[in-house]
Structure 1
Amino acid sequence: MPIRVAVLVSGTGSLLQALLDAHGDGRLEAEVVVVGADNPSAQGLERAAAAGVPTFVHPFSKGGDRAAWDAELTRLVAEHDVELVVLAGFMKLVGPVFLARFGGRTINTHPALLPSFPGMHGPRDALEHGVKITGTTVFEVDAGVDTGRILAQEAVRVLPDDTVDSLHERIKVAERALLVHTVNELARQGDS
């Protein structure tokens, strides 16, 4: 039996699509059983619907009760009896209730080789620092920002004429493949 995965998105859902495509052609040893979004207009919701995957929307209102939001997010994900949660471009931090339930089973991607360049602007920061190699990281989510245990990394060379956008696009290609690979590795560990 493939492991059951929840994917949380905020935007286009290209990482989600990589998982759905890999499942569709037999390369993924997991099944996406629910997709949640904090943004009701996230394109990832459309991708999930097109694949027949159930969805939910759980926005956070500015000035809202973060603890209540976190508890409800936990409940919405837990309803689907998942073994792994993938934050795929999910632009909200999960809180202590979520981590108490899904800690050690929640992963995220980052467009840099952590611990270098954490935060929202990994490709920009890499260019500004003049590094010649950057990349992508898949890591276990903890209570910090991009501070969890590193599970996998893939290097991406910085080209002399790179812009933030051109570098980020190449990182995204590596990121999608690395996410599929890492989910498969975690699925195999769960079988042993």
Structure 2
Amino acid sequence: MAPLIVVLAGGEGRRMGGEKPLRLLGGETLVDRALRRARHWSDEVRLALRTPEQVPNPGVPILLDDPDVWGPLAGLANALREARRTGRTHVLTLPCDVPFLPDDLLSRLQAAIGDEAVAMAESDGQLHPVCALWSVGVLDRLASYRAAGRRSLKGLAQDAGMVLVDWPEEAFVNVNTPADLAEAERRLRSEV
């Protein structure tokens, strides 16, 4: 069974000047690009947002971030609850601002996870905690993790037990600034 996939798009995008999910790359918004990729991998796709106004009419169900939970952990928490509710055993988290995700991301993470709670992408020793496959059982650890004042996805994955899966660095180029977006546009044109 395919995992539930949640595209994380609830950040403020300050370095981009706001509204990062709606920025265009190759004539398509960053969030639409991420949702298209997610639909390729699963029939259960959700969009994690801080407020519904961040992405009007996304075409998939929205999971609103819990205001008491910080950052991507909020999107993951709701996604794990939603996966449990829909009978899915795993959640794949994808950021909306990493437009060149590898085609084999899901298949390699699924092949690697085994008995671990999390399979996480890495490149050149850098972890990519928002590009990870999470067992729904991680939800059972979340309350105590948060109660201890912890809030990073990486820390949660380490606490739950994880395996790392390595890719080349260019697969996880993050678009955070207008300059990053311009570089991504150049890369997209060169790949077409």
The TM-score range, normalised by the shorter chain, is: 0.3 to 0.5
Give the structure with the larger helix fraction: 2
State the TM-score, normalizing by the size of structure 2: 0.40
State the TM-score, normalizing by the size of structure 1: 0.40
Q: Which of structures 1 and 2 has the larger relative contact order (alpha carbons within 8 angstroms, sep 6+)?
A: 2
